[in-house]
Each structure stands twice: as structure tokens, then as C-alpha cells.
Structure 1
Amino acid sequence: MSIGLNPYLVFDGNTREAVHFYEKALGGKVIGIMTFGDAPADPNHPLPDDMKDRVMHAHLKVGDSELMFSDTFAGMPYQPGNTIQIAIHPREEARAREIFAALEDGGEVVMPLMKTDWSPLYGIVKDKYGVTFQVNVPGEQPQQ
């Protein structure tokens, strides 16, 4: 079984600034930054103009470690200090479903498991202890 874990830091509109701060402070390398405006448009859920420049996902490589980042979606609650999530990357969808179900027991589904533009199966769940996990089956990586 192959699975990876990494911290996922959430900010409220200043992710790009934070990524570059950590890149310099930790001697890392930015692998990519994607804004909400970079994602394919969904006519059923139009993106407000103030969301287009917010970071949907950023990836920073620091040595052998990975840090990932995102801004909140406008209107979502944000509490400084409660902004670190754990991203889990099981390779198999069946394993992702098992992990998600186990974490959901006594917890709360924030975003149900579903296919996304970047993953065949992705979801967010807060466990019974209040820890938020992103379960993400890695999809094909775009060529840089």
C-alpha cells in the first residue's frame, strides 16, 4: 500500500504571499500556483470576480517534504490558528474511500468524495477530534 501525507495550510486571501515567504524562509521551490480563476468555468456555479485571483492550490517543495496551500473560498469561515489540514494521498480509490469513511465516523463531511479537475477522487472530512483531512487520489500531473 502506498500513501503520502503532507501539511496543507489554509489562508484567507494571502496564500500567494505566504507561499513565497515560506519559499524564501525554508529554502524551498514553488512547484506551482493555481488560482480559482485558472480552473475550468462551471456555468452552474459562476465564479465571483473577487475569487478569481485567490489561490485554489499551491505546492512548495522543501527538501524531501511537500507543503500545500490554499485560500478559503469567499464567505467560508476562517479562524487564524486553525488553518492547517492534513492531505492524504492514497494511490487507490478503494483505499481513499476506506480512509474517508473511517475519518467520517463521528466526524463531519466538509466536501463529499467526488471527481475533480485534478483528481479522480477528492474530498474533505473533519474527524471527531476536529482535525480536517483532505483525501486526494493523485491524478495525472500536468506537464510544466
Structure 2
Amino acid sequence: MPILNPYISFRDNAREALERYQHVLGGELQIMTFGSMPELPQDPSESELVLHGQLTTDDGLILMASDTPAHMEYQEPQGVAISISGTEVDRLRAIWDGLLDGGTATAPLGAAPWGGDFGMLVDRFGVAWMLSIDTEP
């Protein structure tokens, strides 16, 4: 069965973002740097940038990210949001609060016309998130 995983590109702060997401979401973080792959052409000053990072949470979420070396074109994430939904109210509200820290709510978390709670935010790294909490039993 195929698995769909968000993969976020950053300019040079993927490690900071992944560590923040680990703090908020929990789980195991694995990071491979450009320097760990000396056969790749690279600027030695970028050896500690993230070639590939993967956060795997205890509840099965997988989030991947990498840095974009200076010699490659980079565009900030736009037009896409990472959506997290579920019924675990306390866990999802904690995720909301953690992602919102240093970010901006574009639609405050609150009652949704279709039921439950819904909110949208852009985190401190410029990544858009949507959270949906099904509060019905």
C-alpha cells in the first residue's frame, strides 16, 4: 500500500524545523547531512545542512525535510498545507499550541460549521498547517 508523506524543503534551517516538530509531535528523528555523503558535489560550508531528515511519531505520522544548497533555486513553501486530524482532543490542541508558538493563526482553532474544531496556521518556518479535531464520540 502506498504511503503519502509530506516532504518540506527549507533553505538552511531544516534541522531547526525538524527538531521543533519533534518537540511538538514527539517521535524519533533521523538526520543525514550533506557532509555524510562526501561523494556528492557540495560547498564544504554546507556540510552540516540536512540532506534528508525524517521524523516518525509514535502514532504513525511521518514528516520529511531537507535543506536546499545555495547553488540550487529555493522557493518558500506555498499553496500547500499539512493537515493533521483526529479525535484525541488534548493531543491535537497541544500540537496546535506547539506549532502556533512563533507562528501566526490564519484561522483560529475553534468550532467548525461542519462540526468539531478546525484551525489553520503558518508556523515560525513559514509552513502552513491545518488541524481538525473531531469532538463527536
TM-score of the two chains, using structure 1 as the length reference: 0.49
Gap change, CA 1:55 and 1:82, over 3 Å in 2: same
CA-based RMSD of the aligned residues comes to 2.5
**2:63 is aligned with 1:67:** yes
* Counterpart in the other structure of 1:33: 31
Question: Does the alignment pair 1:51 with 2:46?
Answer: yes
Aligned-pair CA distance for 1:31? 3.2
Structure 2 CA distance for partners of 1:83 and 1:48, relative to 1, 3 Å: farther
The ranges of structure 1 where at least 4 consecutive aligned residues each deviate by more than 2 angstroms after the TM superposition are 81-84
Bigger radius of gyration:
2
Distance in 2 of aligned mates of 1:71 and 1:83: 19
Structure 2 residue aligned with 1:8: 7
**Distance in 1 separating the partners of 2:55 and 2:78:** 20
Distance 1:69 1:22 in 2: 11
Q: Equivalences for 1:105-120 in 2 at 5 Å?
A: none
- How much does 1:33 deviate? 0.5
Mapped partners of 2:53, 2:22: distance in 1: 11
Correspondence list, 1:92-111, <5 A: none
For 1:36 and 1:73, locate their aligned partners in 2 and report how far apart those are by CA, in whole Å. Answer: 9
Map Cα deviations across residues 7-35 of structure 1 (whole Å, 9 max, x no partner).
00111110110011111122x22331000
**Per-residue displacement from partner, 1:64-121 (whole Å, max 9, x unpaired)?**
110001001222222223396xxxxxxxxxxxxxxxxxxxxxxxxxxxxxxxxxxxxx
Structure 2 alignment gaps of length 5 or more: 81-137
Of all paired residues, the percent bearing the same amino acid is 38
**TM-score, normalised relative to structure 2:** 0.51
Structure 1, unpaired ranges of 5+: 85-144
Secondary structure of the residue aligned to 1:6 is coil
Aligned to 1:102: none
Aligned residues: 81
Paired with 2:79 and 2:73, the residues of 1 have a C-alpha distance of 11
1:15 and 1:70 in contact (8 A); partners too:
yes
Find the aligned partners of 2:24 and 2:29 in 1 and give their Cα distance. 16
Compared CA separation, residues 13 and 48, structure 1 to 2 (3 A): same
